[in-house]
Amino acid sequence: MPPALSPRSRSGVVPTVRRLLRTYSFGFALLVSLALLIANLLTESGGFGWTQQMADFAPLGLAAIASTPAIISGGFDFTISPLIFLTNAVFVIWLLPHGLGGAISVPIVLALGAAVGALQAVLIIVLRIPSVVVTLGLYFILIGVDYKIAPNAVSISSSWLTHLSGSVGPIPGALFTLGAPFVIWFALRFIPYRGVMFAVGSNEATAYSTGVNVGLVRICAYALGGLFAGIGGLALTGLVLSTNSSLSGTYTLIAIAGVGLGGTSLWGGRGGLLGSMLGAVVIYLLGSLLSALQVDPNWLQVMYGGMLLVAVVVGGKLALPAKQAA
Amino acid sequence: MRERSSSEPLRRPRCARIRGRAGAVSGSDASSASGEPAQVLVRVGGLAKSFGATQALRDCSFELRAGEVHALVGENGSGKSTLVKILSGVHAPDAGSVELAGEPVRLRNPHAAQDAGIVTVFQEVLVAEARSVLANVWLGADGLLRSQLSAREKRARAGAVLEELLADPLDLNCPVEELSLRDRQACGIARALLREPRILILDEATSALDVDTRDRLFAIVGRLSRQGTGVIFITHRMDEIGEIGDRITVMRSGRSVAVLESGGWTPRELVRLMTGSEVLEELAREEAASFANRRGEPVLSVRGLTLREGRRPIDVEVRAGELVGIAGLEGQGQTEFLEAIWGERTVPGEVVRHKQGRDVVVRSPAQAAANDIAYVPRERRVDSLFGWMSIRENFGMPTLQKDTRFGILRPASTRRRLQEYVDRLGIVLGDAEDSIATLSGGNQQKVVVARWLAAGPKVLLLNDPTRGVDVNAKRDLYALLTSLASEGLAVVMISTEVDEHLELMDRVLVFREHELFRELERSSLSREALVAAFFGAGEEDEDATGALAEI
């Protein structure tokens, strides 16, 4: 009898932790965000104000969520933050004054976001240059466009969008904006696309050789991110009721940090939206905790960076098999 | 279990062919028997393709009939892989025609090829590491919007194919990155089988498989071909060609030079056709006497190395000028042993390097390198090559120290050093400044070996350096290793090929279940002894011995 050639027993503590961390890559962000939430609740005097907090958080959370699909598919998208401000500016400067500020604005804004995302992917595919280069170029271009549309900060008096930062009945409005990407993401489970997107991010050559239309998968991933950025634009507009192009770049790196904190591999192929949102929660709550404790805000950036490093170490070193982690 | 009955007829003819190669193909191959002309699935003519200055294909003709297993043989760089990539839609030909079932086609991408029923298992083990086994074997089978099959049916079919291939089931939810190389390759093969191809291309698809898995794959291939599938099969193992090939197309320098019918050839003739030389050069091997002369002082001792908990510790001494082979079935601890010596893997026990009366314990690759040990890992593409750098840079990377004057790097010096090895190893290259990617697999491997030789090691560790390397490149390597050994280099080398051990080694360590199972000295080295040791002494597996004895 030939011997058993490869023993497949995978028991023991370390492999178990590994598998848990891989299946629930957002675990680290979840634990830290829960701890920070408790710390916030304890330090916050005068009530936490869930509805307002969530509304404040929504644009950042959506920026992190929107950055995720491109990263999972093996690319990068730095345009999410300027795109959120672009959709915001388009709403404030063009749609609202032309009587398109109602429900009709939603499909317009979302389509705009998706179109910019898709355009970016098309450029990456057609020009055959690394996605980082294309996205960095587009980042500056979009900021320029933002300024062109709204050279000065403009405020609006009111819009139905304020519901998104307030509440709809008893439900915090931010639940709708933050929840929408998850509904879409969940629905994508039921078609092969989502799995294929992860496969493309994990190993592009393999996906291509098996007949996957890698280009189309990438375009859809970037378009999905752009769509989520559009939702972020709506959330931002509802929150601030204004547009200010000088802030266009605000969420760029912090969103990517959120993605990394949330356990999504920055090399593609693993992770998910929930992690990114939790990563953003960590960043947000850390900020509010430190300001409540009246810590010098300069330390905040140091903390973000440190957390990101820890998260990537936890996610990258522990979650992967020993061979890959080296 | 279904294939049980079909695997039997395939095994029998193999034994028959060992006796007399004139014997006809087994009668069960209805389609290739005379009388009814089998349908031609693929016909290519005048195919040419160049990459930059390299003319990969010059004039290639090829024909695949329904129901045949067509072996494509040739050295590395002879154009086999390019032909396969054209048929798979990866490359577009510069000239020539491709016809499928009589219709001219243009295969624009892999998707188009697969729509046309052509499915390929490529030489590289292509898997999406982070994805599950299930996701991997069905990758590409669906569109983006709709699944062809229900999730349950996918599981059932994937499980069945993998079990047929591996003999025991694989956890379908397990991420592929946790699997051994063999199982990853099995995933790639299963993926192709699940697509139910009309034309199946296996390009070196068995390189990481153990003997049993390979036999099971051949049984499946035999069944598919009887059902009318055309199979194109590329291998560097002569025994495999004899085992399942119905016809053979021989390629040389981008041209198809001969089509041989099964049974109408001898290995010698095949080698002649591949190399184009009339005389098959037998490797001049120094015999035991000269070996005894070159065996010098101990240079390396392995003491109490335990590769896995509860396994017997390993003690080995390696002397200067010795060629030590590491053998065994796939995954019996050979790689772990080498990596432990290299210091990359921390296991109980110690590795001691003897340097002229001074003993140094090696605990890390850095220490190993500092003590004149060099390691050539197995996965060339992943572990050894800087894919986008030039041949010169790939060669010189770890030894750039030698090319500096007053701290300033002089590329000309690296080129000069490289040239030495180009001559000695017979590396075929255009220009040293070309990308390493322009070289064939065999030449890439030579560059990697040259890189480490340039460091002037006293102990050279090689992990299956001839995997996927053509006959001539292998011979160049053998000759080089033998001459280096006579200069006092100690070589410890894993090889999956029995012949390599027989031809090259002074001593072979056979690994079994992560233990050193047997040590065979040159004097007691024979095919039978080796294979018997692979499978454990006493319980000699007739079938497996037969399979290997055929070479």
Does residue B54 or residue B316 have the better pLDDT?
B316
First to last CA, chain A: 36
B 310-339 near A (Cβ less than 8 A): 329-332
CB contact under 8 A, B110 and A202: no
Name residue, tokens 């002649």.
B272
Q: By percentage, how much of chain A surpasses pLDDT 70? A: 92
How many CB atoms within 10 Å of residue A182? 14
What is the interface pTM, i.e. ipTM, of the complex? 0.83
Beta carbons of A203 and B129 less than 8 angstroms apart: yes
The C-alpha R_g of chain A, in whole angstroms, comes to 21
What confidence score (pLDDT) does residue A148 get?
A: 95
Tokens of B292: 């005894």
**Closest chain A CA to residue B183:** A6
What confidence score (pLDDT) does residue B381 get?
A: 65
Work out the pLDDT band at B326, boundaries 50, 70, 90: very high
B149 min Cα distance to partner chain A (Å): 11
What phi, psi does B481 have (nearest 5°)?
A: -65, -40
Chain A interface test: which of B144, B185, B345 (most A C-beta within 10 Å): B144
Beta carbons of B79 and B93 less than 8 angstroms apart: no
pLDDT tens-digit map of B391-442: 888 888 777 777 777 878 788 888 888 888 888 888 888 788 888 888 877 7
A213 min Cα distance to partner chain B (Å): 7
Work out the pLDDT band at B512, boundaries 50, 70, 90: confident
Chain B interface test: which of A1, A6, A24, A264 (most B C-beta within 10 Å): A6
pLDDT tens-digit map of B271-303: 778 766 543 334 444 444 455 566 788 999 999
What confidence score (pLDDT) does residue B370 get?
A: 87
CB contact under 8 A, A321 and B331: no
**Closest chain A CA to residue B134:** A195
What confidence score (pLDDT) does residue B441 get?
A: 75
Distance of CA B436 to the CA centre of its chain: 19
- What letter would DSSP give residue B388? T
Residues of A within 8 A of B537 (CB-CB) are none
For B357, residues 6+ apart whose C-beta sits below 8 A from its C-beta are none
What phi, psi does A150 have (nearest 5°)?
A: -130, 80
| A256 contact B CB<8A | no
B278 min Cα distance to partner chain A (Å): 39
Specify the long-range contacts of residues B248-251, CB closer than 8 Å, at least 24 apart.
Answer: B248/B70, B248/B71, B248/B72, B248/B73, B249/B62, B249/B70, B249/B71, B249/B72, B249/B73, B250/B73, B250/B74, B250/B274, B251/B60, B251/B72, B251/B73, B251/B74, B251/B78, B251/B79, B251/B80, B251/B83
pLDDT tens-digit map of B130-140: 899 999 999 98
pLDDT tens-digit map of A164-187: 888 888 889 999 999 999 999 999
What phi, psi does A185 have (nearest 5°)?
A: -60, -45
Q: What is the dihedral of CA A256, A259, A264, A269, to 10 degrees?
A: -50
Chain A interface test: which of B90, B108, B178, B184 (most A C-beta within 10 Å): B178
Does residue B25 or residue A185 have the better pLDDT?
A185
Pick the closest to residue B205 from B179, B226, B232, B223 (CA basis). B232
Work out the pLDDT band at B115, boundaries 50, 70, 90: very high
Q: What is the mean pLDDT of residues A67-77?
A: 95
Residues of A within 8 A of B388 (CB-CB) are none
CB contact under 8 A, B135 and A207: no
How much is the pTM? 0.71
What confidence score (pLDDT) does residue B419 get?
A: 87
Specify the long-range contacts of residues B377-381, CB closer than 8 Å, at least 24 apart.
Answer: B377/B463, B378/B181, B378/B335, B378/B463, B378/B464, B378/B467, B378/B494, B379/B181, B380/B441, B380/B444, B380/B445, B380/B448, B381/B124
What confidence score (pLDDT) does residue A319 get?
A: 61
Q: Is A139 helix (H, G, I), strand (E, B) or coil?
A: helix
pLDDT tens-digit map of A28-55: 889 999 999 999 888 876 677 888 999 9
pLDDT tens-digit map of B337-366: 999 999 888 888 889 999 887 899 988 988
**Closest chain B CA to residue A209:** B110
First to last CA, chain B: 29
Tokens of A92: 């404030």
Give the C-alpha separation, B283 to B23, whole Å: 30
| B513 contact A CB<8A | yes
